[in-house]
């Protein structure tokens, strides 16, 4: 294999750029290469009535994990206090819920703790995180830093220091910003990469997804004007900015998400 996989891959980008499908396709790619990889995402961003518990499934040949904030918080407190009864009571108190919901990044701190715990329990596990879009991703990355400054001593300080060391370890974590082949999406991806790069020393790369021009290049003269212009604009964007793109992926003709995921497998080695 040309590259040694990290333990945590974070896929982010503006909503609608295909990061969920791409994250799952990447899990398939890693799995076919013999790695123990899992697709993971967050079920909620705040404590509330939508508590459903952590959920895991094996769908279309890949393992998928959906983390619930309240369950992760309860598990963290139980681990620290060694009592399930007290931890269940604490996470339901108005004071605890107010802290989690009001302090920016606290929820991501809890989620990251759970992800790192999964990695510790299984030293071979590779987590592919389908992360919150754009601004939320920035908050998530800087969350551990903020809390290390707030809690200077004690258990929380020790835990946030460990999380920060893993999250900011280029050998452990890598981030992918996903963009569509349009100027607006590309500019948003550039801005997000810049913001992430300012906050973390890990590799932050841009992947351009769903490029139609690669399928149409040999048929330009047959295309309607609007479609031809779209293909030419995509091609120019890629040619002008290719040095800043980690990977350029073609449009898939798959009719459902699973088919698209399978089409992408084999073309994602650069993401490792």
| Domain CATH number, residue 32 | 3.40.50.300
Please tell me the predicted confidence (pLDDT) of residue 151.
67
Find residue 67's DSSP bridge partners.
Answer: 42
Is the pLDDT higher at 251 or at 217?
251
Domain contains 245: yes
Quick one: pLDDT at residue 156?
72
pTM of the model: 0.91
- Average of pLDDT values for 149-167? 76
Contact 156, 147 (CB under 8 A): yes
Q: How many residues does the chain have?
A: 272
148 against 101, higher pLDDT = 101
Q: Given this model, what pLDDT does residue 126 score?
A: 97
Mean pLDDT of 139-153: 71
Would the pLDDT of 146 be above 80?
no
Question: Total structural domains in the chain?
Answer: 1
pLDDT at 148 over 90: no
pLDDT at 1 over 50: no
Residue 19: inside a domain: yes
Instruction: Establish if 2 belongs to a structural domain.
Output: no
Across residues 118-128, what is the average pLDDT?
94
What are the beta bridge partners of residue 205? 176
104 belongs to a structural domain: yes
Which of 83 and 221 is assigned the larger pLDDT?
Answer: 83
The per-residue pLDDT for 134 is 63
With a cut of 90, say whether residue 20 has pLDDT above it.
yes
Q: Does the residue 1 lie in any domain? A: no
What is the pLDDT, as a whole number, of residue 3? 64
Band of residue 63 on the pLDDT scale cut at 50, 70, 90: very high
Which pLDDT band holds residue 8 (cuts at 50, 70, 90)? very high
Using H for helix, E for strand and C for coil, what is the string for 37-93? EEEEEECCCCCCCCCCCCEEEEECCEEEEEECHHHHHHHHHHHHHCCHHHHHHHCCC
Residue 3 is assigned to a structural domain of this protein: no
pLDDT digits (tens, 9 = 90+) for 172-224: 999 999 999 999 999 999 999 999 999 889 999 999 999 988 888 777 778 78
Reply yes or no on whether the pLDDT at 2 is more than 60.
Answer: no
- Please name the helix (run of DSSP H) or strand (run of DSSP E) that holds residue 195, with its range, or none: helix 183-199
Q: Quick one: angle between helices 183-199 and 134-150, nearest 10?
A: 10
Range of the domain at 44: 8-271
pLDDT of residue 47: 80
Is 233 within a domain? yes
Judge whether 85 lies within some domain: yes
200 phi, psi to nearest 5 deg: -150, 145
* DSSP bridge pairs for 203: 174
Percent of the chain having pLDDT more than 70? 93
Mean pLDDT over 265-270 rounds to 92
**pLDDT value of position 43:** 87
Which of 15-29, 48-62, 71-85 has the highest mean predicted lDDT (pLDDT)? Answer: 15-29
Between CA 126 and CA 194 the distance in angstroms is 25
Alpha carbon distance 174, 128 (integer Å): 10
Looking only at the bridges linking them, the beta strands covering 55-59 and 245-250 are unpaired
Q: Which residue is listed with tokens 């350029």?
A: 248
């Amino acid at each position: 294999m040309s590259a040694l996989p990290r333990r945590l891959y974070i896929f982010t980008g503006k909503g609608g750029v295909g990061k969920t499908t791409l994250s799952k396709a990447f899990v398939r790619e890693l799995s076919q290469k013999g790695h123990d990889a899992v697709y993971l995402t967050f079920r909620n961003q705040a404590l509330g009535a939508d508590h459903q518990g952590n959920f895991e499934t094996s769908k279309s040949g890949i393992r998928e994990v959906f983390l619930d904030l309240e369950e992760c918080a309860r598990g963290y407190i139980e681990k620290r206090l060694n009592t399930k009864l007290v931890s269940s009571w604490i996470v339901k108190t108005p004071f605890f819920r107010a802290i989690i919901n009001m302090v920016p990044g606290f929820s991501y701190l809890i989620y990251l703790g759970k992800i790192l715990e999964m990695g510790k329990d299984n030293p071979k596990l590779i987590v592919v995180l389908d992360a919150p879009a754009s601004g939320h991703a920035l908050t998530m990355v800087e969350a551990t830093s903020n809390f290390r400054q707030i809690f200077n001593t004690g258990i929380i300080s020790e835990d946030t220091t460990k999380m920060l060391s893993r999250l900011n370890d280029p050998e452990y974590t890598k981030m992918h910003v996903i963009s569509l082949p349009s100027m607006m999406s590309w500019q948003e991806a550039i801005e997000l990469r810049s913001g992430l790069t300012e906050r973390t020393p890990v590799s932050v790369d841009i992947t351009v997804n769903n490029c139609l021009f690669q399928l149409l290049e040999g048929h330009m003269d047959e295309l309607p004007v609007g479609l031809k212009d779209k293909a030419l604009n995509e091609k120019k964007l890629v040619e002008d900015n290719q040095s800043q793109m980690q990977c350029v992926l073609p449009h898939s003709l798959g009719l459902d998400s699973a088919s698209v995921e399978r089409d992408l497998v084999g073309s994602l080695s650069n993401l490792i």
